Structure 1
Amino acid sequence: MIQAPRTYGWLNGLGLITMIRRELVREWRFFQYTVFGPALQASLFTLIFLLSTDRGDLSVGALSFIEFLCPGLVLSAILQRSFESAGYSLMDDKLSDRLQDILGIPLTCLELILAYCLSGLLVSLAIGATVWIALALIAGPVAPQSIILLLSYAILGSVIFSSFGTLAALFSPKWDSIAGKETFILMPALFLSGTFFPLSAVPEAFQGILRLNPVFYLMDGFRYAMTGYNDADPALGMGIVVATALALWSLSLILLARGYKLKA
């Protein structure tokens, strides 16, 4: 008896969950580096600033400098791991020729992008929580002003950097190339987003340049959700962040659907 082909509807839920589980298992193998490494790095940054700001009496508005700094360190850890999780996973599959096998399974390009982004989101949120706890033990806890807004910015930031990681992997022929994109594009975008300084600390001539960086609005919104401090209009910032997330995610989906540079 010949059976009809199996249909999955608009979403292959089982395949998507299996792909996400595969990515999480891969992340788990390096758990001590991917989770505890960023927490240690953020803790060292905090200790350095505590020791270098005259006993912590430097302030930004109504916040102490450490209260201003902690949201930036938490979000930086989330964003950096989102890029590495999606980008390095796709790059590894691409260079090891496993990607051709993955493309042969009953998953659409939409489902593949969702798998890379969702696995990166889960890992990055776990890292963000770990960094948050580590900083709370050093500098004291900071209660968020809005949990919903905080999670919204964290999720949107993860989507942006997971999509950027996917694009970086597609455009990179080898590991050195994707590492260069992380070093010369991602890190400057993070460091020049207000992670370590308020906008008022920058000369007025350069403030307009910083406002051209979408990560500035992402960082400012996340800090606003956690502490109530902001340098930009929250509504404008959210609009820019959402538009950036949609643009990068759509571009990564289009290029993957076209098979752009999928062969190493």
Structure 2
Amino acid sequence: MSSLPPSAHLTPVSGSSYDATYDQTPVMRGLPPADAGPTFPDASYSMQFTSVFAVPADDRFVTFFNVLCDSHGRSASAIWYLTTLGNMSVYLGACIVNQYTKGTQAYAVVQDCIVRDATHVLFRVKIKYWVTPEGLSKPVCDTFAFLLAPVGLTDGEWSRDLGDYISTSAPGLLIHQLQDAIQRVKQATEDSSVVGLVWEDPLLSALAMTYRASPVMKYFAHERDFAVAVHCADLEPAAAARS
């Protein structure tokens, strides 16, 4: 099987910081245990993958993944949409929660920034755990999502460094192109031709490297779901008010 060029080689690392199963830790009223987050002091802000291997628990993941539906029954999407109702800006290392339903959410940390256009910035986030009514579950391997954030809710100083890649290099807006790009990468992954997309453009390259590194990404939908992503810090005042 072809491999990535040396500059993009993904080196497997023995061992993993994640649980090897989808056993769940009991939670109270849909909230994770106090020691579960949402702070991630070990967050890595570069594109360094800690595991590149075939997941031996596909059946268990599929069973678990069926729980990750939004309130309309749609499967979890690989794309997270940051709500415009929050006040906190997105930055590298920020904690983001994606709310599927009242009792089901995913917690992730912002890894890096991929591309932007005039209105949105696309980030890669690394999922740390899911909370469901049954408990807390950690990924069996590196698992990612792609966060679309309005430019007004990002750190403008560094996001401008990316330039207006989408608006100048390709037709249409990022928010409209992303679904098609993910669908293309998923198909290439199934056809074992994903490596050919790595150097095509910055968006496809980032998607291709992510899907190649994480074998469970293929299960996430490329279509939009009805989940809502929120900066964890925006939830703290509400939590304090309820206490």
Whether the TM-score (by the shorter chain) exceeds 0.5 is: no
Larger Rg computed on CA atoms: 1
TM-score with structure 1 setting the length: 0.27
**Structure number having the greater helix percentage:** 1
